[in-house]
Amino acid sequence: MDKLSEISQISLFEELKKDELRTIDKMSEMRPIKKGAVIVSPERPIPALFLLKQGQVRLYRMNHQGRQFTVDILTNGNIFGETSSISLTDENVYAEAMTDTYVCIINVDEFELFIERHPKIALKLINILSNRLKETYSMSEKIALSDVKYRILFLLLKLSEKEGKRHHEWQSIEMKLTHADIANMVGSTRETTSAVLSSFKKQGIIKQEGFLSINADRAYKILDEI
């Protein structure tokens, strides 16, 4: 896999020139990760930024009871990780590869210097953080105020917008997702999530053909009614 050309595809760096990309390349190291492996965790923190080049990574926190809450699922081109001054996850977050994955590990000290010399990149990072904050605000509002049906419907719509393709009236969610995964994102249990999804399937709001698909028009109408 050609690391340099891959880096240029990462949204954070898409505006950089060739030689600037080469600088990033020098301060980073590409590494393959097996499905299921935990990349960083509170127990084994790594002060670095990770660029997700290929695959799917789940960021989750764990309860004192061992229950998990998934704060985000990342796909190609996204960033995560934590350093002393930049933090795209947090010190209590586990990052787990949901599929076989390639990540680029960036040396922090060098990167912070790089940012000081490239304010555009800093603005881009601010932008990425801003968006993640918004999404997190939005999701926690749903979890705080809405019932599980609503939360699941909202999540599926959001995912289909972020990671989906349109197929007539159906919008796919191009992600590997079990019912437990969904439950962990909306703060519910596998069982109630299964029940809710079953009823959605009966109502023709979602269907499973390989990936999960959602009838966005119908879903939006129901979100308004609930």
Partner DNA sequence: GGACGTCCGTAAGATAACTTACATTTTATA
Partner DNA sequence: TATAAAATGTAAGTTATCTTACGGACGTCC
Of these partners, a second copy, DNA, none, which one is at the site of residue 195 (CB under 5 to 8 Å by kind)? DNA
Question: 7: which residues sit within 8 A by CB, 6+ positions away?
Answer: 13, 21, 24, 25, 28, 51, 104
Provide the mask over 206-225, with x wherever binding to a second copy is found by CB under 8 A and - wherever it is not.
------------------x-
Across the beta sheet with 93-97, what order do the strands follow? 38-40, 93-97, 57-62, 68-74
In angstroms, give the least distance from the CB of 106 to a second copy.
Answer: 15
Min. distance of Cβ 2 from a second copy in angstroms?
29
SS3 158: helix
Listing DSSP states for 47-62 in one string gives: BEEEEEEES-EEEEEE
Q: Does 69 bind a second copy (CB under 8 A)?
A: yes
How far CA 99 is from CA of 103, 109, 181, in Å, comes to 12, 29, 13
What binding mask, one character per residue, do residues 93-132 give for DNA by CB under 7 A, x or -?
----------------------------------------
Segment 18-37, which members bind DNA (CB under 7 A)?
Answer: none
Binding site for DNA (CB under 7 A): 147-149, 178-180, 187-192, 194-195, 197-198, 201
